[in-house]
Amino acid sequence: MQHNLLTNAPTKCTLTTTDVDQQADNLTNWQQKYDQVSDGCFYGCIDEVAFNDLQVFKEFTQRALRQQCKVWPNALWLGIPAHSQQSKINGLSIAENQLMCRPSDCNFELITPEQFNIYGMVINQDALQQIAQQQGLSLLGITNQGSPRITTSHQAVIRARQCIEQVIYAHGCGASAALQHDILLNLVLQLLQSKQPQQKVTPSYKHRKLVVDRAKEFIVNHPDNVVTITQLCEFTYVCRRTLQYSFETILGINPLRFLRITRLNQIRRELSDPQINKPIATVAANWGFWHPGQFAKDYKQLFGENPSQTLKRAQLFGRENL
């Protein structure tokens, strides 16, 4: 969904949904794809305030997700989980004194647990560099594809959450739009100027991340085939045990479950298309679910509804928009 980011005054927007794909679309100008990982009906909410060159938001997602994300062009994103939970960015865990940071010229992946809240700030890089120059600060190396984690103090992370809360829910405690904008810009600068040591990445992480990335590449490049664990082992040049350790370390799930939930999420997207003209059984079989009864059971367990309910809702939506 597109919202206006080119207005002089901040605009507050709250969007709720029970559709995980709609949740991914609801964040202004991002390119995202969410796969549901944990079982049950989905609910999500985004509270967002948009300035002309700055976006702040708080996002809640009820179910555990695998999020593939890319921020809007020429921008920098800072992400702060509401609590130190089992969230990961590109397979790296986030500590209580850390925040996440990604520029717009690279994709990144978030693994988020159930009942997850995250605060986000997105700033235009030209505006950020301009205010940094005015204050005599250097951001060299910050806005490139460096580490996805920034280490600061726990108190700084708490203050950042409180500041974003005040802007979103208390209208900046009565401050003008210009003052709110200035406060948020300086907050970004303070967080980026952290002098704390970066958490080192171990060689084992790099190897396991490479294994998972290659496995995902193989899956993406074979959308019409039912990929097996044996094929993934052959393509990644590792044994089954190493493949499992790699997936559990980077994504928090084993490769068998990853394959199953990836296929189920793809089936759900097909069934959610109002233009679909194939039977449910055909769609399921195309993704490797040949036993209708077991497929329906697996589908309902993950999404909290039968595949026929998903299809019916999509068809109703299609008729309403004719």
Q: Are residues 242 and 181 in the same domain?
A: no
Q: Are residues 212 and 204 in contact, defined by beta-carbon separation less than 8 angstroms? A: no
Amino acid letter for position 23:
Q
- The confidence score (pLDDT) of residue 137 equals 77
Q: Which uninterrupted H or E stretch holds 152?
A: none
User: Does 138 fall in a domain?
Assistant: yes
User: Does 209 fall in a domain?
Assistant: yes
Q: Are residues 241 and 174 in the same domain?
A: no
Q: Which of 192, 227, 257 is the last residue of a domain?
A: 192
Q: Are residues 17 and 40 in contact, defined by beta-carbon separation less than 8 angstroms? A: no
Reading the block at residue 89, the tokens are 């960015």
User: Does 288 fall in a domain?
Assistant: yes
Return the CATH number at 19: 2.60.120.10
Q: Are residues 247 and 168 in the same domain?
A: no
123-174 pLDDT tens trace: 999 998 888 888 887 775 665 667 899 888 899 999 999 999 999 998 767 7
Q: Are residues 138 and 226 in the same domain?
A: no
- Domain range enclosing 276: 203-320
User: Does 68 fall in a domain?
Assistant: yes
- The confidence score (pLDDT) of residue 13 equals 93
Q: Are residues 308 and 270 in the same domain?
A: yes
User: Does 4 fall in a domain?
Assistant: no
The domain tally of the chain equals 2
Distance separating alpha carbons of residues 136 and 150, to the nearest angstrom:
21
DSSP class of residue 290 equals -
Distance separating alpha carbons of residues 290 and 267, to the nearest angstrom:
13
- The confidence score (pLDDT) of residue 142 equals 61
- The confidence score (pLDDT) of residue 6 equals 40
Can you tell me which residue has the tokens 């590449």?
217
Q: Which of 170, 192, 214 is the last residue of a domain?
A: 192
Q: Are residues 160 and 290 in the same domain?
A: no
Residue ranges, the chain, pLDDT below 70: 1-9, 140-145, 172, 194-199, 318-322
Reading the block at residue 60, the tokens are 């809640």
